[in-house]
Amino acid sequence: MTEALHSTPTRSESELVEPLICWLRARRQLRDDALLVEEFPWHGRRVDLALLTASGVSSAYELKLAHNRRVIEQSYLNTVSFDRTYLVTATRLMEPLFKQAATLGVGIIHVSLSTGRVSQLLASRRATIHPELRRKLRQALVRRDGASV
């Protein structure tokens, strides 16, 4: 038992990426012609995962295993520039945080690390983006496309 515990690697947010990407592909929200950039630098912070579809719809995903309060605020900042913004978490949110995310228009996606099952708990509200910001975001994403899948 002790040995098993010791050999368990420390969990990190990156473990959420693969199940999320599979899920997005399965839902056809991520196609081959989309841009997907990890650790996307944007206005002085990094968006964990940024997606731009061929039709020009952008989504931001902030990944967090637990302790989601701060990341909801960060996700809220993304709603200025991204059409859709999500918090991707491995824990179930407490009711007040869930309500806060709903108020801010931030969607919530849950990833079970034990089963790999992904489910959307809350839809993201589509934001109204200023055309200039939309153009800049697209430009920045295309520039950083080295990490596309």
Give the three-state DSSP class for 76. helix
If binding is defined by CB under 8 A, does position 140 make contact with other proteins?
Answer: no
| Residue 95 sits in the site that holds other proteins (CB under 8 A) | no
Return all residues near 146 (Cβ < 8 A) that are at least 6 apart. Answer: none
Residue with tokens 């945080």: 97
Q: Do 74 and 63 form a contact (C-beta atoms < 8 A)? A: no
From the centroid of its chain, how far is CA 21? Answer: 10
Which secondary-structure segment (H or E) carries 46? strand 45-52
Among 25, 125, 126, 136, interactor with other proteins by CB under 8 A: 136
Neighbours of 91 (CB within 10 A): 13
The count of chain residues that interact with other proteins, using the rule CB under 8 A, is 18
CA dist., res. 115 & res. 105, Å (int): 28
The distance of closest approach from Cβ of residue 103 to other proteins in the complex, given in angstroms and rounded to an integer, is: 5
- Kindly tell me which of 23 and 74 has the beta carbon lying closer to other proteins: 74
Among 27, 31, 45, 117, binds other proteins (CB under 8 A): 45
State which of residues 57, 65, 121, 133 lies at the interface with other proteins (CB under 8 A).
133
| Interface pick for other proteins out of 15, 29, 57, 80 (rule CB under 8 A) | 80
> Binding of other proteins at residue 81 (CB under 8 A)?
yes
Using CB under 8 A, list all residues that contact other proteins.
41-45, 72-73, 76-77, 80-81, 100, 103-104, 130, 132-133, 136
